[in-house]
Amino acid sequence: MLKDTCFIIAELSANHGGSLDIAKETVRAAKRAGADAIKLQTYTADTITLDVKSDYFKIKQDTAWDGQYLYDLYKGASLPWEWHKPLYDLAKEEGLICFSSPFDKTAVDFLEELNTPIYKVASFEITDIPLIEYMASKQKPMIISTGIATIEDIELAIEACKSVGNEDVTILKCTSAYPASPEDANLVTIPDIIERFGVKSGLSDHTMGTEAPMIAVALGAKVIEKHFILDKSIGGADAHFSLDENEFKRMVDAVRLTEKLIGCVDYEMTEKKKKSREFSRSLFIVKDVKKGETLTEINVRSIRPGFGLHPKYYNEMIGRTFSKNIEGGTPLSLDLFEDQ
């Protein structure tokens, strides 16, 4: 399902403003912005937490959500399940892949009814090994964020997928801060994930701007996920760290340019390179010489352009005898010597 080029995901998350029409227009905007996929989140307040008003369930993490109870936050942020099918259908019409992050087994079963093509494990769910196993058992590509994960958490999550015969795993470097600071990005973890765990890697990015995705792609990321909003004036739980259509388009363009710049290992001598070699160094006669005169450091030099003998022959040419009178500015060649 994932492409050879970087797979760019627009994360709808809570950015629907409580309106199916806004959610639909966000899907269309994601397509215009160049996303490959639109990602939903499939939960209800009751499937993700409890309606309990105690300190255990009150957010106090120095975030934009501080002071709210988890149940109230998720009740307002959740995407109604009856919206999923129209959004999946619209995404297909637009040529986008639509998939979701389920937060319990009932959500997985629901997404299976929609023939979801991919499963995403959210950062805070990486420790829910039974849920990961259940997702992975559906034999769809698995994308797993690592925001709060230890090395052991990542190993357990990958093993959970492999234990049910699912080897298609992509691990996303993620900083679980909203927004995340550049100092906490640590993007060099991406190539380490690839080498250490033997999986594909990418970035679930919560920094502001487009720089982190560009660097991530240069470091080997094959997936970029970024929160996407139609218009920040909509507000909502995730609006303050999401990109709008213009910002997301700039990010996509930057990623695609980065891919072009990375290119591939290339030593082929193309026609363009051959033409450019005319500006390289070569051996030229730089002052008039007469027949019988010997080649010296004074009358032959390595200069531009590249129409003369290769400079690697310079030392062995010293002392050889010219076979005729030659004007300065003539490319050096073997047929100019008596003993060619």
Q: Note down pLDDT in tens along the chain; length 340 residues.
A: 455 799 999 999 889 989 999 999 999 999 999 999 999 999 998 999 998 998 898 888 776 767 788 888 788 888 999 999 999 999 999 999 999 999 999 999 999 999 999 999 999 999 999 999 999 999 999 999 998 899 999 999 999 999 999 999 999 999 877 788 899 899 999 999 999 999 999 999 989 888 999 999 999 999 999 999 999 988 877 788 899 999 999 999 999 999 999 998 999 988 999 999 999 999 999 999 999 999 999 999 999 999 999 999 999 999 999 999 999 999 999 999 987 5
- What residues does each domain of the chain span? 7-43+78-262, 271-336
Residue 215 is predicted with a pLDDT of 96
- Alpha carbon distance 83, 197 (integer Å): 36
pLDDT of residue 14: 87
- Residue 223 and residue 145 in contact, taking contact as beta carbons nearer than 8 Å: no
> What span, in angstroms and rounded, lies between the C-alpha atoms of 108 and 41?
11
**For residues 70 and 44, is the Cβ–Cβ distance under 8 A?**
no
Tokens found for residue 290: 């007469």
Give the 3-state secondary structure of residue 220.
coil
Sequence-ordered strand ranges (E) for the chain:
7-11, 37-42, 97-102, 119-121, 142-145, 169-174, 200-205, 223-227, 282-285, 300-303, 330-331
- The reply to whether 7-43+78-262 and 271-336 are identical in fold is no
Q: State the DSSP H helix or E strand holding residue 295, giving kind and residue range, or none if neither.
A: none
pLDDT of residue 1: 47
Q: Which fold has domain 7-43+78-262?
A: TIM Barrel (3.20.20)
* pLDDT given for residue 318 in this prediction: 96
pLDDT at 3 (0 to 100): 59
Domain 271-336 has CATH 3.90.1210.10: yes
